[in-house]
């Protein structure tokens, strides 16, 4: 196995503790409060299909030995409170930390269920080496399923055999802020590049999260590292088409990882 071939602690992150670490899943579906209280969001929709993503994440990271903690329909304040509570915890006996956020969003932010903005850079900053010493030299991973603007990413027209009905596709969209973590050992997996929408099928879940979970389930047992897996996710999602709006989606992983990151099953 590749895990045995690359076991040098100088080049591969340790991933042996059980549980490996916490995996937080923030799943925001109900935006009725946001529609009422935030004028610019008066037409924002509930995120139908998001429970499929939350379940896929739970099953996937449970099988990879993470302790799953799920949160549903949290306000911006609640999200910050939860993150601060995990910042203060002692992660000394764990090897990793994962946070997944499923919500609407805009440039550099995600929305709480109340429509208030949560800066992505602020969320990651809770877990820098200075702010969370027990996670120093350990990977801190964030997967963000949310639009980062309202533009459609255009693609070159190609022939396809897809029979996808795009009338059922929805978008996780509604401050420009820098959201790339600049501290070591972070991985930020964004569903889409800046300024653009991301897609969610109410009957199947989002393009990004479903592809991410499927590839983790299939490729972690083969000994593939996380960046190789995310490259495959990029390939799969970028090949999907929103025919109605001639739109495409390009996920964007950004990282300051200094070693290879594997999720062994044993």
Measure the CA dihedral 215/204/24/21, to 10°.
-30
What distances in angstroms separate CA 71 from CA 68, 113, 168, 182, 213, one per listed residue?
10, 11, 26, 27, 19
- The span from the CA of 169 to the CA of 131, in Å, is 40
Kindly name the residue from 96, 99, 100, 147 that is annotated as catalytic: 147
Strands laid side by side in the 109-111 sheet: 105-106, 109-111, 117-119
The per-residue pLDDT for range 132-151, each reduced to its tens digit, is 999 999 999 999 998 654 54
Percent of the chain with pLDDT over 90: 65
100 tagged catalytic: no
The per-residue pLDDT for range 88-133, each reduced to its tens digit, is 999 999 999 999 999 998 888 999 999 999 999 999 999 999 999 9
Q: What is the mean pLDDT of the chain?
A: 84
Count Cβ atoms below 10 Å from residue 259 Cβ, excluding itself. Answer: 18
- The span from the CA of 208 to the CA of 218, in Å, is 15
Domains along the chain with CATH numbers: 2-150+162-255 (3.40.50.1460)
Kindly name the residue from 91, 100, 104, 213 that is annotated as catalytic: 104
Helix axes 207-219, 226-238, angle to 10 degrees: 140
- In this model, does residue 193 exceed pLDDT 60? no
The per-residue pLDDT for range 44-71, each reduced to its tens digit, is 999 999 999 999 999 999 999 999 999 9
**pTM of the predicted protein model:** 0.85
99 tagged catalytic: no
């Amino acid at each position: 196995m590749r895990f045995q071939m690359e076991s040098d602690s100088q080049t591969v992150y340790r991933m042996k503790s059980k549980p490996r670490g916490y995996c937080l899943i923030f799943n925001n579906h109900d935006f009725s409060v946001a529609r009422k209280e935030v004028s610019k969001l008066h037409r924002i929709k509930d995120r139908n299909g998001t429970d499929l993503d939350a379940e896929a994440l739970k099953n996937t990271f449970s099988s990879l030995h993470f302790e799953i903690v799920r949160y549903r329909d949290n306000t911006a304040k609640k999200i910050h409170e939860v993150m601060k509570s995990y910042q203060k915890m002692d992660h000394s006996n764990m090897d990793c930390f994962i946070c997944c956020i499923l919500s609407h969003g805009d440039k550099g932010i995600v929305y709480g269920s109340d429509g208030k903005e949560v800066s992505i850079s602020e969320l990651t900053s809770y877990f820098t080496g200075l702010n969370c010493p027990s996670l120093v030299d350990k990977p801190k991973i964030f997967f963000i399923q949310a639009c980062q603007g309202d533009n459609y990413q255009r693609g070159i027209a190609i022939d396809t055999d897809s029979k996808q009905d795009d009338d059922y596709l929805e978008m996780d969209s509604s401050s420009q802020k820098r959201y790339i973590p600049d501290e070591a050992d972070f991985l930020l997996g964004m569903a889409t590049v800046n300024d653009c929408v991301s897609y969610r099928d109410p009957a199947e879940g989002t393009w990004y999260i479903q592809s991410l979970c499927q590839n983790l389930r299939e490729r972690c047992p083969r000994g593939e590292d996380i960046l190789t897996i995310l490259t495959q996710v990029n390939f799969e999602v970028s090949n999907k088409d929103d025919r109605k709006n001639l739109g495409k989606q390009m996920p964007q992983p950004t990282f300051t990882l200094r070693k290879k990151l594997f999720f062994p099953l044993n």
